[in-house]
Each structure stands twice: as structure tokens, then as C-alpha cells.
């Protein structure tokens, strides 16, 4: 098993705040990703780009890989609340080209993954055919027992929770739904084996970290700071796995503070299950690259290689995880 240790020292407080001098031991041989809406598109892109590394994927309210075809016009016409006959046509064409060129990992690796998908049937933001196209795409890469698609729940366009957020059938900020449904638990229990029960109240630490420092030059389209939820067991040096979760549009810290990273329910499951949850954060921008709603790049606002290993945001997230995992001083 590959394991790496990160030493958190007092001199590193400019990057990770309020941490004691405690070693974090992370198992990064395999990692998990998940996301909602634009974050769902990002989770899918990161998975396809790094399928040797990522073997657990949870996606809510999103569409297939490279749906936008590097075009905001196509994104709006066939990948959100509208779909066309081209939404699920030639789904593998660009992925095959990227794999042949080495821009993404070989597609055969996807067969080693488990994937959980959800679209609420009251969701008016993502059309049913768009999410179905994502399911169809994965179905061609995975065995049936490695893929689950939830479509029978009366959710709007949001992350469904047991008791947090707005009315379950509506789609409004902060896009967390009070649905008497543990979306985090349903997702995580499908992806991971034999999880311990969720905790009602979390006891770990939500830590802010410098994304530009950890992510390098590729992180310039992201916010200055991201978050990591670290359970006490991980702070005490026990080995922990890494789960990356991508928020949706209008859910970054700049827009709604820490509501999303504290109320979606993932941390309640992480607490007793040795999971460090990394919550990267986008930034809103009215200038180039234009991103007024703080979405993840799934249509090419940063660069044309956005859906590959060479994409700026994909590279930045990989750098962040490696920085957490490496035996280095954060901030150097």
C-alpha cells in the first residue's frame, strides 16, 4: 500500500490554519471524487483524466464527459436544461482521441471504478436526457454492478440532505435540499465498503488552505483558499483516505460562505471513516476567464484542454492532493 506522510508544523500556519503539530498519514494509492452540477461535470472530468488514480465517483445533476465540446454555446444548447440528439451521440469520440494521445489515462482503467449517479426528478436545471447520457456513457465502460443511477427521488437541483437547506422540490441557493434523504450517505455507502455510521455532530476540523500555493500556477482560475475537513482520527496520525468534493455554481465560499462544505452531510460520514474531504473552491470573475457564477470549467473557459490531465483546474487539483500527501512543508 502506498502511504505518504505530511507533517503539519507551526511554521505552516499561513497555509493551513489552527492545526497542531500532528502528522497526517494519507493513503493516496487510490482516491475518490464527487460533485454537484458543474462540480459533477468536474468530478467526471477528473475521473476520466486520471482513471488510474480515481476509482470511486459520485455525480449529482450533471452530464457526460466533454458534452460541451469546448463551447459555452453547445453547453447551453445540449448539456443543461436542454438536450438534443447530439447530447448522447459520439460520446466516446473525443475521449478516445484524448486517450490515444495520452491526454487522459487509458479508458480501460474506468472498468476498475465504482460510480454513483443521481438526478432529482424535480430538477429543472439539468434535463433528464442529459443525465441519462452520462449514465449511458459510463454503462459502456463499467459492469452493471459497478454503476448505480438514482432517478426516482423528488429533488430539485441541489444536494439532498436529511434536514439542511431549502424545500426539497425547489432549486434555489444555497442548493442544499431538506429532503429527509441522506444523499451523502447513499453515495458514500455505495462507493465504500463497510462504512461506520454517520455522526450527528462532527468533531473534526474544517481547515482553510492556500490553493494557489498548493495548486501552483495552474490554480490561478481558482479562489485563494480552499477547505479540507479532517477527522480527529486523521489529526491523531491514523491512516486516512482522500475524497475530493466539487461544489456547484454559486456554491463557493465567495457566494455562500461555508454553508455547502459544512451542511451537505459528507463530513458526518467522514468523521468515523478515516476520510479527509478536500473541498476546492472556485472564484467569481467578471473578467477573462469569465466565470460570474463561480462554476467549474466544463466548457473551456480556462483552456481548450480543460477536460484532460493538461487542463489548468485538473492539474491544480492534482497538485493540491499531492501537496497534502507529500513529505514537504506546505508553503515552500
List active site positions: 37, 123, 157
Q: Pull the grid cell for residue 187.
A: 453515495
Rounded Cα distance, 191 and 196, in Å? 13
Q: Pull the grid cell for residue 266.
A: 459528507
Rounded Cα distance, 306 and 87, in Å? 19
Alpha helices in 127-217 (DSSP H): 128-139, 183-191, 211-215
Q: Is the peptide bond before 289 cis (omega within 30 degrees of 0)?
A: yes
Q: Are the CB atoms for 153 and 120 separated by under 8 Å?
A: yes
Eight-state DSSP code of residue 30: E
Q: How far are the Cα atoms of 25, 30, 104 from residue 237, in angstroms, in the given order?
A: 6, 19, 33
Q: Are the CB atoms for 135 and 126 separated by under 8 Å?
A: no
3-state helix, strand, coil split of the chain in percent (to 5) is 30, 20, 50
Taking each helix axis as running N to C, give the angle between helix 38-49 and helix 312-325, from 0 to 180 degrees, rounded to the nearest 10. Answer: 70
Rounded Cα distance, 40 and 201, in Å? 26
What is the CB-side half-sphere exposure of residue 72 using CA atoms within 13 A? 10
Place of cell 497526517: 24
Rounded Cα distance, 157 and 160, in Å? 9
What is the CB-side half-sphere exposure of residue 195 using CA atoms within 13 A? 22
Q: Are the CB atoms for 211 and 320 separated by under 8 Å?
A: yes
Kind and range of the H or E run holding 332:
none
Amino acid at each position: 500500500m502506498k502511504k505518504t506522510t505530511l507533517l503539519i508544523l507551526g511554521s505552516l500556519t499561513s497555509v493551513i490554519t489552527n492545526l497542531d503539530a500532528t502528522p497526517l498519514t494519507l493513503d493516496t494509492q487510490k482516491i475518490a471524487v464527487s460533485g454537484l452540477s458543474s462540480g459533477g461535470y468536474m468530478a467526471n472530468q477528473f475521473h476520466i483524466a486520471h482513471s488510474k488514480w480515481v476509482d470511486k465517483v459520485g455525480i449529482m445533476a450533471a452530464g457526460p464527459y466533454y458534452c460541451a465540446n469546448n463551447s459555452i454555446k453547445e453547453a447551453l444548447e445540449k448539456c443543461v436544461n436542454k438536450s438534443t440528439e447530439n447530447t448522447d451521440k459520439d460520446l466516446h469520440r473525443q475521449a478516445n482521441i484524448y486517450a490515444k494521445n495520452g491526454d487522459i489515462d487509458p479508458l480501460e482503467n474506468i472498468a476498475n471504478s465504482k460510480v454513483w449517479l443521481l438526478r432529482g426528478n424535480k430538477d429543472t436545471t439539468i434535463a433528464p436526457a442529459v443525465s441519462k447520457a452520462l449514465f449511458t456513457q459510463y454503462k459502456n465502460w463499467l459492469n452493471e454492478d459497478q454503476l448505480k443511477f438514482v432517478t426516482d427521488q423528488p429533488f430539485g437541483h441541489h444536494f439532498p440532505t436529511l434536514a439542511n437547506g431549502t424545500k426539497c422540490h425547489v432549486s434555489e441557493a444555497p442548493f442544499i435540499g431538506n429532503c429527509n434523504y441522506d444523499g451523502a450517505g447513499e453515495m458514500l455507502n455505495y462507493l465504500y465498503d463497510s462504512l461506520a455510521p454517520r455522526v450527528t455532530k462532527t468533531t473534526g476540523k474544517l481547515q482553510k488552505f492556500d490553493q494557489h500555493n498548493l495548486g501552483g500556477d495552474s490554480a490561478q482560475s481558482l479562489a485563494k483558499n480552499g477547505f479540507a475537513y479532517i477527522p480527529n482520527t486523521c489529526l491523531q496520525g491514523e491512516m486516512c483516505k482522500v475524497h475530493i468534493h466539487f461544489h456547484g455554481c454559486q456554491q463557493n465560499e465567495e457566494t455562500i460562505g461555508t454553508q455547502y462544505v459544512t451542511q451537505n452531510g459528507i463530513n458526518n460520514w467522514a468523521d468515523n471513516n478515516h476520510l479527509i474531504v478536500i473541498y476546492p473552491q472556485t472564484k467569481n470573475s467578471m473578467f477573462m476567464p469569465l466565470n460570474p457564477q463561480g462554476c467549474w470549467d466544463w466548457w473551456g473557459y480556462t483552456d481548450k484542454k480543460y477536460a484532460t490531465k493538461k487542463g489548468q483546474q485538473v492539474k491544480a487539483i492534482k497538485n493540491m492532493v499531492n501537496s497534502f500527501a507529500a513529505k514537504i512543508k506546505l508553503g515552500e
